[in-house]
Amino acid sequence: KQEVTQIPAALSVPEGENLVLNCSFTDSAIYNLQWFRQDPGKGLTSLLLIQSSQREQTSGRLNASLDKSSGRSTLYIAASQPGDSATYLCAVCHYNQGGKLIFGQGTELSVKP
């Protein structure tokens, strides 16, 4: 059974810092991995999707990496801003489970001005 874990559960940093959020999964037979952002009480916004054959994806100040063999993904946020404050969720999609996403519990990020 696939389990997704995100560490840390919460993180507070001063504005301008570079930071890394971690995601680990127990079954490496994934089709892809997605990182999402969720503002309080809102839906999820897709940030990056990494296919199983890819090592990383970049979008603006965000860079996500994937190491399937070790069951790890990281989301790197450069030059953090107060507007980055949100909960970040990673989710894996399996080949043999259709489009079902299995989520971690998220990392709540607070960027202080």
Partner 1 sequence: DAGVTQSPTHLIKTRGQQVTLRCSPKSGHDTVSWYQQALGQGPQFIFQYYEEEERQRGNFPDRFSGHQFPNYSSELNVNALLLGDSALYLCASSWNYETQYFGPGTRLLVL
For partner 1, the binding residues (CB under 8 A) are 4, 31-32, 34, 36, 41-46, 49, 89, 91, 93, 97-106
Q: What are phi and psi of 76, to 5 degrees?
A: -100, 125
Residue 15 C-beta: closest distance to partner 1, Å: 25
The distance of closest approach from Cβ of residue 35 to partner 1 in the complex, given in angstroms and rounded to an integer, is 11
Q: Which is nearer to partner 1, 90 or 111 (CB)?
A: 90
Q: How far is the CB of 70 from partner 1 (least distance, A)?
A: 21
Select 4 or 75, whichever has its Cβ closest to partner 1. Answer: 4
- The answer to whether 102 and 90 have CB atoms below 8 angstroms apart is no
Number of Cβ atoms within 10 Å of the Cβ of 26: 12
60 CA to centre of own chain: 15
Q: Which residue, 30 or 111, is less far from partner 1 as judged by CB?
A: 30
3-state helix, strand, coil in the chain (%, to 5): 5, 60, 35
Question: Quick one: 3 or 17, whose CB is closer to partner 1?
Answer: 3
Q: How far apart are CA 32 and CA 57, in angstroms?
A: 12
Shortest Å, Cβ 4 to partner 1: 8
